[in-house]
């Protein structure tokens, strides 16, 4: 069986990666499996352990890194986030196209390790709109919001390193464009 694609979706925090993903992840023609990340951040209201993230402690996360269990990992605004390698490999070996939704440092690691990965960067229509979206979550203290905004400005400079840059003005439209890009990559692999 042909190994599935590795797909990276990145972009600044708050750009709507999760909302866009939800618009196409269940399209079975794309044969997608979402890679659930491990994080040390506390769950937000409504987030489910094992579905949104594998919530873990700092000690467990550091041990997993030491054991070489992570495909990539990064520290983001005071917490660790990372992709467990074995799940990604198992799914790809079953022919599934695995979607990683990760921030830019992790995406750089994956692009270096797997140059064939399909990399997509999502940008907001404007930085003002991004700020509105980050504040709209109303879940974090002002200090963290400021850190996310400062980071976003730097993250945007890395868009040029990705194969595709897609604007999330309308989530369904962005999702449709990503679906086309994945379909094209699947045809090229066939």
Query: Which spans of this chain sit near ligand 5GP (rule: CB under 6 A)?
Result: 13, 17, 37, 41, 72, 74, 76, 81-83, 101-103, 105-106
User: Helical H runs in the chain?
Assistant: 17-24, 58-66, 85-93, 104-113, 127-136, 142-156, 171-189
Nearer Cβ to ligand 5GP (132/184): 132
Nearer Cβ to ligand 5GP (109/187): 109
Question: Residue 164 Cβ, how far from ligand 5GP at the closest point, in Å?
Answer: 17
CB distance 105 to 74 below 8 Å: yes
Which residue, 126, 95, 120, 115, is CA-closest to 179? 120
Nearer Cβ to ligand 5GP (82/124): 82
Cα-Cα-Cα-Cα torsion 20, 72, 130, 172, nearest 10 degrees, comes to -10
Residue of this chain nearest to ligand 5GP (CB atom): 106
Nearer Cβ to ligand 5GP (77/173): 77
User: How does strand 38-39 pair with strand 54-55?
Assistant: parallel
Nearer Cβ to ligand 5GP (5/103): 103
Question: Residue 31 Cβ, how far from ligand 5GP at the closest point, in Å?
Answer: 21
| Contact residues for 96 (Cβ-Cβ < 8 A; gap 6+) | 4, 31, 32, 33
The C-alpha angle with vertex 36 and arms to 11 and 146, in degrees rounded to 5, equals 40
CB distance 97 to 27 below 8 Å: no
Nearer Cβ to ligand 5GP (23/186): 23
Which residue, 39, 2, 4, 8, is CA-closest to 115? 8
């Amino acid at each position: 069986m042909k190994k599935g694609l590795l797909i990276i979706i990145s972009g600044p925090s708050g750009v709507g990666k999760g909302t866009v993903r939800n618009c196409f992840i269940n399209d079975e023609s794309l044969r997608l499996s979402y890679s659930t990340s491990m994080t040390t951040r506390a769950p937000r209201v409504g987030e489910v352990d094992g579905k949104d993230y594998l919530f873990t402690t700092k000690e467990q996360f550091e041990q997993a890194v030491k054991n070489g269990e992570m495909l990539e990992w990064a520290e983001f605004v005071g917490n660790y986030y990372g992709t467990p390698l074995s799940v990604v490999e198992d799914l790809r070996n079953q022919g599934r196209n695995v979607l990683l939704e990760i921030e830019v440092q992790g995406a750089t690691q994956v692009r270096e390790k797997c140059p064939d990965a399909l990399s997509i960067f999502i940008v907001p229509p404007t930085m003002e709109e991004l700020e509105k979206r980050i504040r709209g979550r109303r879940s974090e203290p002002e200090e963290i919001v400021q850190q996310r905004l400062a980071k976003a400005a730097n993250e945007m400079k890395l868009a040029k390193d990705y194969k595709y840059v897609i604007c999330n003005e309308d989530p369904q439209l962005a999702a449709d464009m990503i679906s086309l890009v994945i379909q094209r990559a699947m045809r090229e692999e066939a």
